[in-house]
Structure 1
């Protein structure tokens, strides 16, 4: 009977053992730095604990992340097909309906909000995730996943899964169910995820937080330094209480700024802290701004901070802005476009389809630059006048030549270049009737 009970219980024991192993695998381990940093943060050399929330309270970090996310998310995103003759045709399929500027990524977000969140997570944690929801083989939505609640994991057999912490319960999603945009640094430590700028810049952010706290405490104390009142005798308990009430309390706090105290009977003041000028607090905070901007790849002038002796206007600032768009915004767009092609478009089997942000939209607020761009495109035969009008959200022109490519030569259609106009034909006929040789005349002029 005993043997029968043991044999019957064996499958249940095996199930329990497997269940326990799976639970252990999904628990937060001691060597899981990313997992623990999500809850407790990282301690900087300045003694401040840096978490995602505390980092976002630093004005410089907030501005760098916000401006970059807004710049990328404001660009129109379209899906195109590359066809014969190197021709590009805009496509309006299920993928474009989800990721495109005119689509809907999910039930709750607009395209701008979705991509703004993706870029924000990319710049803070180095990774951005969204769950792919499909109907059959068609993509129906992208549900954003908080990067602090998701991480890629390689199983013992090498399979890549994404471990998502959903309300305290861990769930593994297969790689084909997750849209993952990786930031800089994948491969330096882990080929499956990018490096977090906040984690890598813990010491810089911690120093800025410490300087900010010190400045706040200094102002809260009415700009008075920390120190001691020195007495030439030993005070008893009652005398200490009276001295504290008469000297210390009336001078503490910003509300008592400008108050006057009385020192008597040989009492002296001994300062034990540097004043803001001696501590070079302003220079320190200025350096912190520039240091944090380096971590996020945003020039300080973009967030309203001018370096020593630098003007806020002029061609120099314009060059810095172009450099930021080229080296900061464009690489982020390239990362997203590459991931869309690899994870959303390629699985459909169409290798000639791709998604692209319209960088021209960055000219939207610069009327002079936009006018120069459109003039160059139309006058050089790269864009029709109706295509130019579409860029300005104007209705199409009824002129039949408005849909033809033209060049600067009096706006002559491309297919009419090299052909004689009616005026030239009449002039040639008159010269032939008069017996004037045009080639001989040209040689004489030469």
Structure 2
């Protein structure tokens, strides 16, 4: 048998012939299952689910502001409610999840009588295919096999958001596709540990002796230990009673520690790998890395780093996409203050410093806290000291 044939057999691309098949029982390690990795099966991995959930929770807390130059203006209706069939947080969550899993998100622009955008319809990334026309150089989008009007980022009928762009590639590269090998290994390790007791090839114990036994004698002792009754010709296992064996045989139960059975070290390694893949701090993954101590200050810094170096990648892509469907000269920005909110006492002390220093007013501080504006009567009742010191 050639080396190529043997290699193909080992990795499962070829089957052994009958004469090459050994008569010995298979090894304890079973052949790996055939795993199909996609955005659906990847979400069945606990750590992937948690990583995507953190991204989803992060974007759902944020507000959207519309700006013209350096002045904030009233947002357009399509910014207040991008998709008429759902609320804005759900629309933003859908976009982030699509980017995190597939590396792409698609919005179909539905227009009104005057061609103004009135709705952004989210599409399933698995049903959209962008193709660049070799003649025109423009990108055509096919949705469920049907060609839609060619679109671009500045006014086409399809808005295409991408996670990681690569020259010469029309689709974004998402974490699931980029780490296909690592995530498939995680799925295999999970399935192997979860089916440990269900498999019949894992022995409950080992019979050993210092004497030499031939195959027939060894098989006979094995059958006797497992409850074989030579008189009835049947196995009659029993969980109780005394078993007597000769030839100096000794039975050692195969005991596995719970930590080893659950592959805790492997799970911890997989959690770290997936957290690194999605850019999620360990504290947000609810995981503890050995040697690292968590404190309030550390967790707060984790949130800042997460916002700046992970979540902002998604937010900037959504901001630019939304800015492309509103009147020219306007742009959209997320208000990320909600992610950096400290405890109540610290915030109020910061407001007091701002008001005393003169760069923050009472109405501005109330707006930051989400409080209703003061009425003219309440403003008139404030003393000069209160106007500068009280929130």
TM range (shorter): 0.7 to 0.9
Which of the numbers 319, 322, 332 marks the counterpart of 2:301? Answer: 319
Distance 2:341 2:318 in 1: 22
Q: CA deviation at 1:130?
A: 1.4
* More moved, 54-63 vs 260-269: 260-269
Unaligned runs of 5+ in 2: 1-31, 230-234
* CA RMSD, Structure 1 to Structure 2 (Å): 4.0
Larger Rg: 1
Provide the residue aligned with 2:75 in structure 1.
92
Q: CA deviation at 1:285?
A: 1.2
Contact 1:197/1:296 (<8 A) preserved: yes
Task: Give the structure-1-normalised TM-score.
Answer: 0.64
2:242 matches 1:264: no
Unaligned runs of 5+ in 1: 1-44, 413-446
Contact 1:164/1:173 (<8 A) preserved: no
- Inter-CA distance 372–159: structure 2 relative to 1 (3 Å threshold): same
Provide the residue aligned with 1:395 in structure 2.
372
Q: Which structure has more RCO (C-alpha within 8 Å, separation ≥ 6)?
A: 2
Provide the residue aligned with 1:360 in structure 2.
337
Deviations 1:260-295, CA, capped at 9 Å, x for gaps: 994735577799999776799221111110011111
Distance 1:200 1:126 in 2: 10
Distance 1:98 1:367 in 2: 33
Deviations 1:115-135, CA, capped at 9 Å, x for gaps: 001000101111111111011
Provide the residue aligned with 1:64 in structure 2.
51
Q: Considering fraction of residues, name the structure with more helix.
A: 1
Provide the residue aligned with 2:276 in structure 1.
294
Q: CA deviation at 1:51?
A: 2.0
2:76 matches 1:77: no
2:132 matches 1:179: no
Q: CA deviation at 1:370?
A: 3.2
- Inter-CA distance 202–244: structure 2 relative to 1 (3 Å threshold): farther
- Inter-CA distance 138–410: structure 2 relative to 1 (3 Å threshold): closer
Contact 1:130/1:143 (<8 A) preserved: yes
Distance 2:207 2:228 in 1: 12
Query: Secondary structure of 2:195's partner?
Result: helix
Equivalent residues in 2 for 1:399-438, closer than 5 Å: 411=388
Distance 1:72 1:215 in 2: 35
Q: CA deviation at 1:240?
A: 9.0
Give the number of aligned pairs: 338
Q: CA deviation at 1:106?
A: 2.1
Provide the residue aligned with 2:130 in structure 1.
152
Contact 1:132/1:139 (<8 A) preserved: yes
Distance 2:255 2:147 in 1: 53
Distance 1:278 1:306 in 2: 18
Deviations 1:360-399, CA, capped at 9 Å, x for gaps: 1224573244334433443333332112223333333346
